Amino acid sequence: MPVLPELAAVLAAASARTRPEPPGGGPVLREAARGYWDRRGLHGTAGGIAAAPGAQALLLALIGAHGGDVLMPRPCPAAWMPQARLLGHPAYHVPTPAECGGIPDPYALLETVRRVRAEGGRPKLLLLSVVDDPTATVALPELVREACEAAVDEGLHIISEETWRDTVHRPRDTVLLSPAEMCPDDVTVLADLSGALLPAAWPVAVARFPDTARAAVRHARTLDILTALGALVAGPVAHAAAHALGEPDSVRDRIQRAAALNTEVAAAAHRAVLGSGALARPPEAGCHLYADLGPLRSRLAGLGVTDSMELEEYLTGRLGAPAPGGHRFGDELGALRVRLGTGPLLGATPQQRAESLAAAKPLELAHVARALDDFAAVFADLR
């Protein structure tokens, strides 16, 4: 998306700031993050906030601060498993329920915990995302509750990745329940502001810790790791991030416009994928969808595509845009799954993307219609 002019002005006004933020973020940034979560019913103090230059650095610090084995759903964000392995923490995938991605099936979670302990492991941490990347689904509240209760009963701490919560396509029809609302003492919330609030080139992520003595110790460990990594938020970027977290009218309007645009474009892409005979859950958030081309296996085999690595190469070449295969998200290599981003469908130039964002009927724009036709043609050829 084009940079919001108001945020660009805020960043420019702070460009003379030559010092980075202190480890975990300065008081203005942390207070802004506290207010952001307070407006979403997650109350706490600015002292329980930590910020870093991007979600990967912050998640690495959070995993390192907790110790023990890590569990995560299958599929999951591409960075999760490598980060756990980088720290030397054993990590395990847990199947998701049929209805959504992002959270583990509670019974599968209990069985995985039992098996890991029987093998001498120490499961301590569960990563999940109720508004999920890669599947673009929003977990039903009752499923979130069951998964979180199972995790807490087994002594697991939960890191809830909520980067995409402000990108829900139909907020009036979607009930979004954060695990921190149910288990406030056992959940740390993580959000990458590039999901909805900031451009990806201005990296800032924030974490909200529980208000407990144990969480205070983990918060301190997290700051120690961020310090050792030199993972400090740039001063001008922190100023812009604090402004965005305050959610002035212009920022709220941009979030709503972007969500409305992605709702229409993702739905059109979803129809094209289903029209080919492939499978995909309806996208409910974000700017992507997750497709299963298993039903097209015979046709793809004739094209030399037999696994997700080959599917990634094939679709990336045909679409002219990255189409990462499911193996990057923890799915089995033999499964023909792929994450399809909708960003390339919005326009090839900043001007076209700005037109898409401003349009009342974006699907009727010539460049969007042409991009969707090309997208649909790639999948129609696989029928």
For the record, the structure tokens of 159 come out as: 């890191």
Cα–Cα distance measured from residue 96 to residue 76, given in angstroms and rounded to the nearest whole number? 10
| pLDDT greater than 90 at residue 257 | yes
Residues 6+ apart with CB under 8 A from 68: 89, 122, 123, 124, 125
Residue percentage of the chain with pLDDT more than 70: 100
Residue with tokens 């650095």: 57
User: What confidence category does residue 329 fall into, taking pLDDT thresholds of 50, 70 and 90?
Assistant: very high
pLDDT value, residue 195: 86
Instruction: Give 326's Cβ-side CA count (13 Å radius).
Output: 22
Across the beta sheet with 187-192, the strand order is 49-52, 205-208, 187-192, 157-161, 123-128, 69-74, 91-95
Structure tokens at 323: 């189409």
68-92 as b/e, with b when 16 or more CB fall inside 10 Å?
Answer: bbbbbbbbbbebbbebbeebebbbb
Residue range 48-66: average pLDDT? 97
Whether the upstream peptide bond of residue 75 has omega within 30° of 0, thus cis, is: yes
Mean pLDDT for 7-29 is: 95
Tens digit of each residue's pLDDT (9 = 90 or more) over 290-324? 999 999 999 999 999 999 999 999 999 999 999 99
pLDDT digits (tens, 9 = 90+) for 156-204: 999 999 999 999 999 989 999 999 999 999 999 999 999 899 999 999 9
Overall average pLDDT of the 29-49 stretch: 97
- Which tens digits make up the pLDDT trace of 343-381? 999 999 999 999 999 999 999 999 999 999 999 999 999
pLDDT in tens, 95-106: 999 999 999 999
Average pLDDT, the chain: 96
Task: Provide the CB-side half-sphere exposure for 319 (13 A, CA).
Answer: 25
Contact 229, 33 (CB under 8 A): no
Q: For 114-139, what is each residue's pLDDT tens digit?
A: 999 999 999 999 999 999 999 999 99
In angstroms, rounded to a whole number, what is the distance separating the alpha carbons of residues 282 and 296?
A: 19
Euclidean distance between CA atoms 301 and 366, whole angstroms: 34
- Centroid of chain to Cα 97: 18
Q: What is the full DSSP assignment across 241-262? A: HHHHHT--HHHHHHHHHHHHHH
Question: What is the DSSP code string of 166-186?
Answer: GGBS-TTT-----HHHH-TTS
Task: Please determine, for residue 2, whether its predicted confidence score (pLDDT) is greater than 90.
Answer: no
Q: Which two tokens stand for residue 262?
A: 């992605």
pLDDT score for 97 = 96
Report, as an integer, the average pLDDT of 245-259: 96
- Tell whether the model's pLDDT for residue 67 goes beyond 90: no
Give the integer Cα–Cα distance in Å for 103 and 109.
Answer: 10
Amino acid at 365: L
Is residue 1 scored above 90 in pLDDT?
Answer: no
d(CA 294, CA 349): 34
pLDDT for res 304? 97
Q: Identify whether the C-beta of residue 127 lies closer than 8 Å to the C-beta of residue 276.
A: no
User: Helix 106-118 vs helix 141-153: angle between axes, to the nearest 10 degrees?
Assistant: 20
3-state secondary structure of 280: strand
CA 271 to chain centre: 23
pLDDT over threshold 90, residue 327 = yes
